Structure 1
């Protein structure tokens, strides 16, 4: 059985990853399963949330020991879906800016060894991220800018940390392209090549 394609969309919260994932499900041929930070949040016990969505800066050192386990479980699930011939799109925000040294990304990459993985960096300028956060209103779970703190530290940390080390097969900017246009760029990259290598390069990075 041919393995299903895996597309990993990595970027900060409100950068547009979920909208691109939805566009991929709507427009790409075949079955596309969306596994990512939002799906994991629903499955994670309340006491361990935000789980893999833990922000940079060491906000919850009490749950950090569980984060590598949650990532391992997610990536094993991604691999299982792919090996069954199902395509997977993953919207996520990888970083290693915890209070302890975790270096999670290479471990995740190794769990997808031998599978077709396209790693996409989803970029969005911080001003646009803040505008999107504010548009959600007070009821959203996102930190928003205020008159006395127009560019909150948690938002700046996401922008600084989520794209390290910055190895991608493709990058898209959602301030310039619609979700469907981003999905179209991803489709073109899959068709035109070259063969994706970024995630498998990350698998060879040191983990300590």
Structure 2
């Protein structure tokens, strides 16, 4: 039996990690929070030769992260995923790896001016990162549920998601995206 994958998709600084932490405290069943940032933090700190080597390491990290999520769910674990579809290939790979009927795709929205304010306040992200991701992250356009972190706290967003889970749609957003295929948006890798 496959576990449920609650996939939080939003730009950097949109509030995905904060919502994920709240979900773990409000959901009735045991869940694991898997964040792509956690995987990047596990990497050794050695200097990389150049941008090409950095890009290759990043691609392998993201791809390995997708497989780790799929593996946890395949073992029957419920997983809250903190990631983003800032490049189309990420969505395509997740569509290939995850059981589409068991994915709840959550759009984590926040207006760009608020994202930029949060980004500047955090100081741990490159300036303009959220702006660069803003259009592509939600380009696929299909969600099971969306939350807005500019109007709701992380706990309120988590509760909205929890209340939604018993009435998940069929087909799910992931099933609809899989059925549409990847021809709608060109893949980039």
Give the TM-score of the pair, scaled to structure 1. Answer: 0.76
Matched, 1:11 2:10: yes
Residue pair 2:36, 2:65 contacting (<8 A) in 1 also: no
Hey, which of these two has a bigger chunk of helix by percent?
2
Q: What does 1:46-85 correspond to in 2, within 5 Å?
A: 46=45, 60-85=51-76
Q: For residues 39 and 108 of structure 1, do their structure 2 counterparts lie closer, same or farther at Cα, with a shift above 3 Å needed?
A: same
| Pick aligned residue for 1:132 from 95, 103, 118 | 118
Partner of 1:92: 83
Q: How far 1:134 sits from its partner (Å)?
A: 2.8
CA distance in 1, matches of 2:37, 2:90: 19
Structure 1: runs of 5+ lacking an equivalent: 50-59, 97-101, 145-151
Matched, 1:103 2:89: yes
Q: How far 1:143 sits from its partner (Å)?
A: 3.4
Residue pair 2:116, 2:131 contacting (<8 A) in 1 also: no
CA distance in 2, matches of 1:104, 1:205: 11
Aligned residues: 182
Give the TM-score of the pair, scaled to structure 2. Answer: 0.83
Q: For residues 132 and 104 of structure 1, do their structure 2 counterparts lie closer, same or farther at Cα, with a shift above 3 Å needed?
A: closer
Partner of 1:30: 29
Tell me the alpha carbon deviations over residues 124-160 of structure 1, each in whole angstroms, 9 at most, x when there is no partner: 0111112222333xxx32234xxxxxxx4x4321212
The runs of 4+ residues in structure 1 deviating greater than 4 Å are none
Q: How far 1:61 sits from its partner (Å)?
A: 4.5
Structure 2: runs of 5+ lacking an equivalent: none
Partner of 1:142: 125
| Pick aligned residue for 1:205 from 164, 172, 182 | 182
CA distance in 1, matches of 2:146, 2:92: 19
CA distance in 2, matches of 1:34, 1:196: 25
CA distance in 2, matches of 1:68, 1:143: 19
Q: How far 1:92 sits from its partner (Å)?
A: 1.0
Tell me the alpha carbon deviations over residues 63-105 of structure 1, each in whole angstroms, 9 at most, x when there is no partner: 3344443333212211221122211001112122xxxxx7331
**For 1:177, what is the secondary structure of its paired residue?**
coil
Q: How far 1:194 sits from its partner (Å)?
A: 1.7
